[in-house]
Amino acid sequence: MKLSRKVLLILGAVVLVGALIVVYMIYFQLAGERNLLEDRLDTAQTVLPALVANKNTEESQLAEAQSALDLSRAKFPSAPESIEYGEDFFRVAYGQNLYTMAEGAGVNLIKLTASQPADRKIGTVTYSVSSFVVTITGDLDNTLKFIDAIGTRINYKLTWNFQLPWSVEVKSISRNPAGAVINLDIYGYRG
């Protein structure tokens, strides 16, 4: 069966129209995706400056924190092996929030050095002992308040009380015009 030329032209036109419709649909689908991507790009370009500014702020805060850490490390170069002793001592020296005791006694803690904890047996009881050298500034009355606070755990601002599982033995105190250097041993019970 032979098709006439007219039928072939109609058939060819239908195929051509179908192909154009498919191409047209693909074009509009891609155009929609392009518009979506352009909207996302605009949004990203709007947010980018804020993110860059935030990054710069965070980097400067990191640099400040790093320099403060370096300054603190230089100020307090030695630390005890066990954080408990140093942490508890700071609670005595500075109070519950690390500043109340020194402020309450009216002194400033300038330098703190500590030895590694060592076991010391007294009778049948074993203690872990750390020696500390504490440098403070303040007048004589406030220095004596601070030394008393170390031994008795009194908070001169009277905002809190605490009990710690250790005791303090003040070995020596050398007074200078600006403050004092205190040598002490902290005995922690090792059950």
Return the pLDDT at 147.
76
Buried/exposed 158-170: b ≥16 CB within 10 Å, e otherwise: eeeeeebebebee
Give me 178's structure tokens: 């600006």
Give residue-wise pLDDT tens across range 79-119: 444 444 445 544 444 434 334 556 667 788 788 787 888 88
Which pTM does this prediction carry?
Answer: 0.44
- How many residues are recorded in the chain? 191
Which of the 8 DSSP states describes residue 118?
Answer: E
Which of the 8 DSSP states describes residue 32?
Answer: H
- Coil, helix or strand for 62? helix
Q: Enumerate the domain spans of the chain.
A: 1-75, 83-189
Q: Extract the residue ranges of the chain whose pLDDT is less than 70.
A: 1, 75-104, 151-166, 189-191
Return the pLDDT at 39.
93
Return the pLDDT at 38.
94
Alpha-carbon distance 84 to 167, whole Å?
13
φ/ψ of 182, rounded to 5, equals: -115, 130
Alpha-carbon distance 5 to 84, whole Å?
101
Return the pLDDT at 102.
60
User: Which secondary structure element, helix H or strand E, spans residue 137, and what is its range?
Assistant: strand 125-137
- Coil, helix or strand for 177? coil
Class of domain 83-189: alpha beta
Return the pLDDT at 183.
87
SS3 content of the chain, % helix, strand, coil (to 5): 55, 25, 20
Return the pLDDT at 154.
54
